[in-house]
Amino acid sequence: MIKAAGVAEVTDQDFAAEVLGADLPVLVEFTADWCPPCRQMGPVLTALAAEEGERLKVVQLDVDTNPDTTNAYKVLSMPTFMVFRGGEPVKAMVGARPKRRLLEELSDVL
């Protein structure tokens, strides 16, 4: 997986602790190495994590190596972004987008 700088990687094993148990809202990018739009999102997620780190936790999950979580949330397209708050998914978005648009779409959950 192409890891975005400053963005944690989560797995099937630690998803519950890192995402569902987090104090902050968590933006999860369901991603894959073979996905060009996912790679485009790397700098966007790095910037988002740096700017919003006090209000939002940003993580990535590789769909190819973490099928349990991917299937549990019925993720079919990459990249899929899901926001979790209080252990529950509260928003889902599919496809690459510029940082400005991503921030606009996240404004109601931050």
| 77-91 mean pLDDT | 97
| 68-86 mean pLDDT | 98
Q: How confident is the model at residue 106 (pLDDT cuts 50, 70, 90)?
A: very high
Percent helix / strand / coil, the chain, rounded to 5: 35, 25, 40
Write phi, then psi, for 38 (nearest 5 degrees): -65, -40
Write phi, then psi, for 83 (nearest 5 degrees): -105, 130
63 pLDDT more than 90: yes
The whole-number pLDDT of residue 16 equals 98
The whole-number pLDDT of residue 25 equals 97
Q: What is the CATH number of domain 8-106?
A: 3.40.30.10
- pTM (predicted TM-score): 0.96
33 assigned to active site: no
Spell out the domain ranges in the chain: 8-106
7, 27, 35, 44: the active-site residue: 35
Angle at which helix 99-106 crosses helix 36-52, to 10 degrees, equals 60
Query: How many other CB atoms are found less than 10 A from the CB of residue 24?
Result: 15
1 assigned to active site: no
The whole-number pLDDT of residue 6 equals 82
38, 56, 61, 75: the active-site residue: 38
